[in-house]
Structure 1
Amino acid sequence: MELNQVEYFVNLAETLNFTTAARLSGVSQPSLTRSIRRLEEELGGPLIYRDGKNSRLTALGQEIEKDFKQVQLALRSVRQHSDSWALGSQCVLDIAVAPSVSPNAFTSFFLRAMEENPTVWIKIHALQPNEDTAEILSGKYHACILPRQPKPDVKLDVRPLFRERFVLGCAAQHPLASVDVVRAADLASFPYVDRLRCEFRDRIQEHFFRQEIVMRPRFRAEREDWVQRVVADGHAICILPEHSGAAPGLVTRPIEGLSLERELVIVTVSGSTTPVEMRKIAQLASRYAWS
């Protein structure tokens, strides 16, 4: 097996088109086709059903695609380390963060991480709705920060960071801001904003439903900044994680009887395929004194 076959097959698996895969690989289509056939002979079975526009990966092909993407990630890591040693260049780490995770608790941590790792540059990405830990395994991101534990996978290294409660969010001048603990029954008296990206949205609604409290949101939004701006301006209230309030003027208060909480985690690929700089930062995160 040759390293260029890894690239050829990954391009083919992603496009399911020999012509397009050959163009992406910088080779002729016959050359790519011969390379894939040699790979199939070596692995002992077909990797792709060849059916024109309906071509698709076989079960073996699907498994090989995952492994080959791991190989690509490892090769990328090797090249980064080589560049760092030979040229003194920086190591850029791509870290994706779930939309509902606020920067409040993380800005000081990342400053500390870069201080302890002076050759590291950190690039933060917004994790898209259709993305999950598969993007780490594919090599798109070096790590993800998630608001809950992902499904168990031996290929993933999952490190808990901290837990946070779900609380009331309201404006500093709002009537509910004057009490230390808000009664759940009092929430229904005020306009409510529905955070559509909240991972615990159904459980929050179920909690209030069991108490016969009906929250009727007239404003719904997927974007956290829109939700928090409406709340901070005093037009409505919301339920959000206690460390997520980022808009100036927004305050939080615990809600009587609401015991929901979430655990934030940082996820990387287990083993040596993860850059050593990323592993150091993940270790720092797991022992960091989160406030």
Structure 2
Amino acid sequence: MDLNQIRYYLNLAQALNFTEAARQSGVSQPSLTRAIQRLEEELGGPLLYRDGKDTRLTALGRDVQLEFMRIQASLDAISEIVDTSVVGKRRRLAIGIATTIAPAAMASFWRHVLAQLPMVELQLLPMLAGETDAEVLSGRYDMCLLTDPPGPNVKLAVVPLYREYLRLALATTHPLARKSVVAPAEISGEPYLDRLHCEFRSLLIKHFMDRHIVMRPRLQSEREDWVQQLVASGAGVCALPERSVIVEGIVVRPIEGLDLSREVSLVAVSGSGNPREVRQILTMAEKYRWNG
């Protein structure tokens, strides 16, 4: 069995006419007929009923058609990869993003990337719970935006982008918004909205418990947008990295005595085996003025 036989058969199964299938396949009708006969011999059964001018698929023929369609889809995908990677038409890069990283601090950088690399297509994908830099090494993502830099690993290229501190987020109309620093005791009576994906949850709870303050969440959610929208509406307050505001109507203020921060990093596989475009983006990230 060869790829031409697959193509010929799919054309025939669609047209159910040897003359038309030969025309679509770019071969003579006798050549197509011989190819289909060899295919039937290799598979051990008839693929078509031939009754004069009437041609229809057998049960085996229908099953084979479905499998050949899957094979053809895979071949088409391979051709697209070749066009992208070898011929140089376009390069599609999958970038995993930790769910708590907000777009505001990143948007201008990726706009710069798109302007500088017009042949690149970006797929920005939310990373699932538990996914780490290991997903880069596995090939799931070409690059990752992470909130905790991975440990030393010669297989990884890590570019630190910026550091941001954990702050109290509250509505701009909230009375505490007038303060430059908020004391833990002032937060204790506020309805607290719990961001379940927050990297600092356990440390934040300990910070308040050490001061004999128990924060009882009125609401818990993995959805950053929902929590922030509720904060902006005045429904409560939450702890939020300072660059992570995505909803209008929120201000962030330092919490007295709290010094928790995270470093956002861009991570990719190191070495020349990486796509050229990935190496270019890493270089751009190193030179970009993240605190500008």
Q: Same fold (TM over 0.5)?
A: yes
Q: For the residues of structure 1 that align with 2:251 and 2:132, how far apart are their CA atoms? A: 30
Tell me the TM-score normalised to structure 2 length.
Answer: 0.69
Map 1:29-68; keep pairs closer than 5 Å: none
Map 1:32-111; keep pairs closer than 5 Å: 80-84=84-88, 89-111=89-111
Q: Which amino acid aligns with 1:284?
A: M
Q: For the residues of structure 1 that align with 2:183 and 2:246, how far apart are their CA atoms? A: 24
- Is residue 83–residue 90 contact of structure 2 (8 Å, CA) maintained in 1? no
Give the unaligned 5+ runs of structure 1: 1-75
Q: CA deviation at 1:77?
A: 8.4
Q: Deviations over 1:229-274 (max 9, x none)?
A: 1111100000010000101211111111111111010100011222
Q: CA deviation at 1:176?
A: 1.0
User: Could you say what the CA RMSD is over the residues aligned between the two structures, in angstroms?
Assistant: 1.6
Q: Which amino acid aligns with 1:170?
A: L
- Is residue 77–residue 273 contact of structure 1 (8 Å, CA) maintained in 2? no
Q: For the residues of structure 1 that align with 2:277 and 2:136, how far apart are their CA atoms? A: 16
Q: Percent identity?
A: 44
Per the alignment, in what secondary structure is the counterpart of residue 218 of structure 1? Answer: strand
Q: CA deviation at 1:83?
A: 2.3
Q: For the residues of structure 2 that align with 1:78 and 1:152, how far apart are their CA atoms? A: 33
Q: CA deviation at 1:130?
A: 3.2
Q: CA deviation at 1:134?
A: 2.0
Give the unaligned 5+ runs of structure 2: 1-79
Matching of residue 269 in structure 1 with residue 269 in structure 2:
yes
Q: Deviations over 1:59-115 (max 9, x none)?
A: xxxxxxxxxxxxxxxxx988733121xxxx221111110001000101111001111
- Is residue 77–residue 274 contact of structure 1 (8 Å, CA) maintained in 2? no
Partner of residue 228, structure 2: 228
Which portions of structure 1, spanning 4 or more consecutive aligned residues, are displaced by more than 6 angstroms? 76-79
Q: Deviations over 1:21-71 (max 9, x none)?
A: xxxxxxxxxxxxxxxxxxxxxxxxxxxxxxxxxxxxxxxxxxxxxxxxxxx
Matching of residue 206 in structure 1 with residue 209 in structure 2:
no
Q: For the residues of structure 1 that align with 2:238 and 2:230, how far apart are their CA atoms? A: 9
Partner of residue 181, structure 1: 181
Q: For the residues of structure 1 that align with 2:162 and 2:82, how far apart are their CA atoms? A: 32
- Is residue 77–residue 275 contact of structure 1 (8 Å, CA) maintained in 2? no
Q: Which amino acid aligns with 1:165?
A: Y
Map 1:111-122; keep pairs closer than 5 Å: 111-122=111-122
- Is residue 170–residue 252 contact of structure 2 (8 Å, CA) maintained in 1? yes
Q: CA deviation at 1:194?
A: 0.9
Q: Which amino acid aligns with 1:129?
A: A
Matching of residue 158 in structure 1 with residue 162 in structure 2:
no
Partner of residue 125, structure 1: 125
Q: CA deviation at 1:210?
A: 1.2
Q: Which amino acid aligns with 1:120?
A: V
- Alignment size in residue pairs: 212
Tell me the TM-score normalised to structure 1 length.
Answer: 0.70
Q: For the residues of structure 2 that align with 1:260 and 1:133, how far apart are their CA atoms? A: 22
Q: For the residues of structure 2 that align with 1:165 and 1:132, how far apart are their CA atoms? A: 21
Per the alignment, in what secondary structure is the counterpart of residue 159 of structure 1? Answer: strand
Q: CA deviation at 1:128?
A: 0.6
Per the alignment, in what secondary structure is the counterpart of residue 169 of structure 2? Answer: strand
Per the alignment, in what secondary structure is the counterpart of residue 123 of structure 2? Answer: strand
Q: Which has the larger radius of gyration?
A: 2
Q: For the residues of structure 1 that align with 2:81 and 2:142, how far apart are their CA atoms? A: 10
Q: For the residues of structure 2 that align with 1:239 and 1:188, how far apart are their CA atoms? A: 13
Q: CA deviation at 1:118?
A: 1.8
